[in-house]
Amino acid sequence: MLRPPLPARFRQSLTSLAATLGFYSRLPVSRMMGSFVGLRGFDLANDVALVPVAGVIIGLCGALVLVLTRGFGLSSPLSALMSVGALVLVSGGLHEDGLADVADGFGGGHDKASKLAIMKDSRLGSFGGLALGLALAARVMMLGTLAARSGSEAALVLIAAAGVSRFVGLLPMILLKPARADGLGAGISRPRPQGLRLAGVLSVAAALLPLFAGASFGAALTGLVLALAGAYGMTRLAAHHIGGQTGDVAGAAQQVAEIGFMLAFVLGLGG
């Protein structure tokens, strides 16, 4: 059966979204959208505007698990654990791997060359294991705390955090030069200003989603500030340790930004 052709602009946007989801997740994009769009690889210069949208879709997967498990009567902590686990599965642990590699490299290396070498090593070290465990525990505990207070707020905070943090996590790639000549950080092109502006607007819109569940505007605004502060802090840390950015640094920035965003709602900051 022949499908009617999609308008060129809409098809272009769907192609960009498919490429972004294909990069940020393990969702079966080719099976879901392959008959409607032209599949290609992710290109930060052309696709940056839809990074927050891809993050929201990924966060929605975790939120659905949270809502369903609570509906089956599971406790808030257990539902939070399964929800964060679903996020890791959907994303393939992309950002968690980056956080672990950065912690190993920055914690175990004595100069730029050794730090980059450790970060490239696929083995998990003590610093990486500790950072990964603490980050996962923080996300599960914060989500569990929110879910015990309000399931709908927890779900929307999770979705918002996923969207905001994936865009904010690109801050190292926007502000720093590549730290090595090869790897993800070196191969990704700089995003265009127009795409950055649209991504920023969509990130702000994502940050406001928890307001539909009764969260305060102040908490959303504070969450944005903490997410930006966390990502910028990781950017400065990378500049100090390795003089630039890598894909791992961007992954670590996303994790710190996600935790910072959620923290604002757990503590009721700005409320």
Structure tokens at 67: 């809502």
For the purposes of burial, counting CB atoms within 10 Å of the CB of 174, is it exposed (0-12), middle (13-18) or buried (19 or more)?
A: middle
pLDDT, residue 1, reads 42
Q: Is residue 152 part of a domain?
A: yes
Please give the residue range of the domain that contains residue 4: 1-42
Number of domains the chain contains: 2
Tell whether 226 is covered by a domain. Answer: yes
* Cβ proximity of 241 and 102 under 8 Å: no
Is the same domain home to 91 and 114?
yes
Q: Say which residues have a Cβ less than 8 Å from residue 90's Cβ, sequence separation at least 6.
A: 25, 26, 27, 58, 61, 62
29 and 54 fall within a common domain: no
User: Is residue 214 assigned to a domain?
Assistant: yes
pLDDT at 71: 94
pLDDT value, residue 38: 67
Same domain, 243 and 197: yes
Asked if residue 68 and residue 88 are part of one domain, the reply reads: yes
Whole-angstrom distance, CA of residue 179 vs CA of residue 214: 43
Same domain for 116 and 35:
no
Q: Which residue has the tokens 């050794």?
A: 114
Residues 18 and 120 reside in one and the same domain: no
* Domain identity same for 67 and 102: yes
| Residue with tokens 């502000």, as numbered in its chain | 175
Please give the Cα distance from 171 to 31 (Å, whole number). Answer: 31
Same domain, 34 and 131: no
Residues 17 and 89 in one domain: no
Q: Do 13 and 111 fall into the same domain?
A: no
Residues of the chain with pLDDT under 70: 1-8, 33-38, 183-189, 271
Domain contains 271: no
3-state SS assignment for residue 178: strand
pLDDT score for 229:
98
CB 226 within 8 A of CB 261: yes
CB-based contacts of 145: which residues, under 8 Å, 6+ apart? 76, 266
The β-bridge partners of 219 are: none
What is the pTM (predicted TM-score) of this model? 0.92
Tell me, yes or no, whether 123 and 175 share the same domain.
yes
Do 221 and 147 lie in one domain? The reply is yes
How do residues 153-190 score in pLDDT, each as one tens digit?
A: 999 999 999 999 999 999 999 999 999 877 665 556 67
Longest dimension (CA), the chain: 62
